[in-house]
């Protein structure tokens, strides 16, 4: 018989089953929580072990890295017997013995960082970092910027190397305070020449010519102050890792220095094409390594075949190269394409400073200033205008020029008198030709109003 506190259906107690199911469910939940707790504990223990292991590895690597850094500091000392070109080999063996497992690129980066640290290079400027800012300064007024990068471009055999060597020679001797009308600033610092473009024989003769090398008693040559280092085609230096490291060491020896690199193309590492966008990478690497050392850089480069009035556009190769220096200089012949005997050269600049233009010429004893730029260019324009005249215009211009030199005016009457007999209405033709020459700015004129016998306008050369 069924009571009110029980619920039988087909002889089955539903409430008791529900209670049992609830108890089972609660037990399962507790079991899950327990398993989760145990798994979390296992993960925590594993993580702690991994962290300890990682800390052990990091601690060991840090100790080894510190040891490597100390070893690099020793290598960067000036009295270290290990040569610059042997540093990578030495450090590679050091890393092998100390189980560092570093590749050559890693070692180079470590060297680079150590050199920057030694030179006091600041990783980034913050509001707490005082920065000294100076106005643009020159070592050669308006031409070569001090403690900055300069690029001189010119065609082959233009005399660009001779110009730079003569500049250094005159600046370092202190006998004169200017060259080609441009003042020197300060004292010439130690000079480093990376001259991979020429053999030592040619360098010695050129340096000796301008007082930068001497002939010893045994007949051999040697460089003298301010030249501190000279690299030539016989003992070349390139803008690869070895060359850049060597240059970094050299410029770090001085508070100031002047680095002449001749030429950029010959100093490039193998594999860099002049029309590729990485053509300027070695230049920029060079800028980076010398920037902490107050070094003035002058790189000599070859110009392209195109004729341009811009020093920036004249340089050969990818345009990224001329984007890199602060000052671009250019040498180009004034009129050699028309007259092989005309040796005058235009020296022009483009850059962060105010542009300069000079007319110069190379003689056996060196470079000389060849007149005022504006005056010479006006003369050239005048000459080309005269050369473009037709025969009748040239004849009348020559007549007026001769009479002007004798302090005599010319009128249409004198001009008509020299015209060919075949010319109809010589007076009208003479007047027309004289006015054409006035429009070309080759002649000047005034109008004289007198009696009926007046010959009208008078003409003379400008």
Residues 6 or more apart whose CB falls under 8 angstroms from that of 13 comprise 6, 7
Q: How far apart are CA 147 and CA 257, in angstroms?
A: 8
Q: Is pLDDT of 268 > 70? A: yes
Q: What is the mean pLDDT of the chain?
A: 83
Q: How far apart are CA 389 and CA 95, in angstroms?
A: 79
In terms of DSSP H, where are the helices of 271-362? 281-290, 311-314, 320-323
What is the phi-psi region of residue 129: left when phi exceeds 0, alpha when psi lies from -120 to 50, beta otherwise? beta
Q: What kind and span of H or E run contains 196?
A: none
pLDDT digits (tens, 9 = 90+) for 386-416: 888 899 999 999 999 999 999 998 999 899 8
The SS3 of residue 227 is strand
Q: What CA dihedral angle connects 206, 211, 212 and 217, to 10 degrees?
A: 90
Please state the domain extents for the chain: 20-118, 138-371, 389-461
Question: Which one-letter DSSP state was computed for residue 266?
Answer: H
pLDDT of residue 191: 98
Q: How far apart are CA 425 and CA 104, in angstroms?
A: 90
Within 10 Å of residue 136's Cβ, how many Cβ atoms?
Answer: 13
Nearest to 320 by CA among 345, 357, 283: 283
The CATH architecture that domain 389-461 belongs to is Orthogonal Bundle (1.10)
393 and 433 Cβ atoms separated by less than 8 Å: yes
Specify the pTM. 0.69
> Which CATH code is given to the segment(s) 138-371?
3.40.50.300
Q: Is pLDDT of 178 > 90? A: yes
* pLDDT bucket at 4, cuts 50 / 70 / 90: very low
Nearest to 82 by CA among 104, 111, 53: 111
């Amino acid at each position: 018989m069924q009571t009110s506190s029980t619920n039988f259906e087909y002889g089955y107690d539903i409430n008791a089953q529900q209670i049992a199911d609830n108890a089972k469910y609660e037990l399962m939940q507790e079991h899950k929580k327990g398993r989760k707790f145990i798994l979390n504990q296992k993960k925590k223990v594993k993580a702690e072990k991994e962290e300890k292991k990682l800390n052990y590895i990091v601690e060991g690597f840090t100790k080894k890295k510190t040891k490597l850094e100390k070893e690099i500091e020793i290598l960067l000392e000036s009295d270290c017997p290990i040569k610059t070109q042997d540093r990578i080999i030495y450090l590679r063996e050091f890393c092998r013995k100390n189980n560092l497992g570093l590749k050559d690129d890693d070692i180079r980066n470590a060297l680079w960082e150590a050199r920057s640290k030694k030179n006091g290079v600041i990783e980034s400027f913050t509001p707490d970092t005082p920065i000294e800012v100076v106005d643009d300064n020159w070592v050669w007024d308006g031409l070569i910027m001090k403690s900055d990068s300069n690029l001189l471009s010119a065609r082959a055999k233009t005399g660009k190397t001779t110009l730079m060597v003569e500049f250094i020679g005159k600046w370092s001797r202190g006998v004169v305070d200017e060259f080609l009308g441009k003042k020197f600033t300060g004292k010439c610092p130690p000079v480093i020449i990376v001259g991979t473009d020429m053999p030592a024989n040619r360098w010695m003769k050129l340096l000796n010519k301008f007082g930068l090398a001497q002939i010893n008693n045994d007949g051999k040559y040697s460089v003298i102050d301010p030249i501190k280092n000279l690299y030539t085609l016989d003992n070349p230096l390139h803008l690869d890792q070895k060359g850049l490291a060597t240059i970094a060491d050299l410029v770090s020896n001085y508070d100031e220095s002047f680095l002449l690199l001749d030429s950029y193309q010959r100093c490039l590492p193998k594999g860099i094409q002049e029309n590729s966008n990485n053509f300027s990478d070695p230049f920029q690497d060079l800028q980076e390594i010398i920037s902490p050392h107050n070094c003035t850089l002058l790189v000599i480069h070859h110009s392209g075949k195109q004729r341009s009035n811009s020093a920036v556009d004249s340089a050969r190769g990818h345009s990224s190269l001329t984007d890199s220096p602060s000052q671009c200089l250019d040498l180009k012949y004034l009129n050699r394409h028309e007259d092989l005997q005309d040796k005058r050269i235009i020296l022009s600049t483009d850059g962060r400073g105010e542009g300069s233009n000079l007319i110069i010429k190379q003689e056996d004893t060196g470079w000389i200033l060849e007149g005022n730029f504006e005056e010479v260019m006006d003369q050239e324009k005048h000459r080309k205008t005269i050369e473009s005249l037709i025969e009748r215009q040239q004849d009348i211009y020559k007549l007026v020029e001769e009479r002007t030199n004798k302090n005599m005016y010319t009128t249409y009457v004198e001009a008509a008198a020299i015209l060919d007999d075949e010319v109809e209405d010589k007076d009208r033709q003479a007047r027309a030709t004289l006015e054409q020459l006035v429009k070309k700015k080759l002649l000047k004129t005034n109008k004289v109003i007198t009696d009926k016998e007046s010959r009208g306008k008078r003409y003379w050369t400008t």
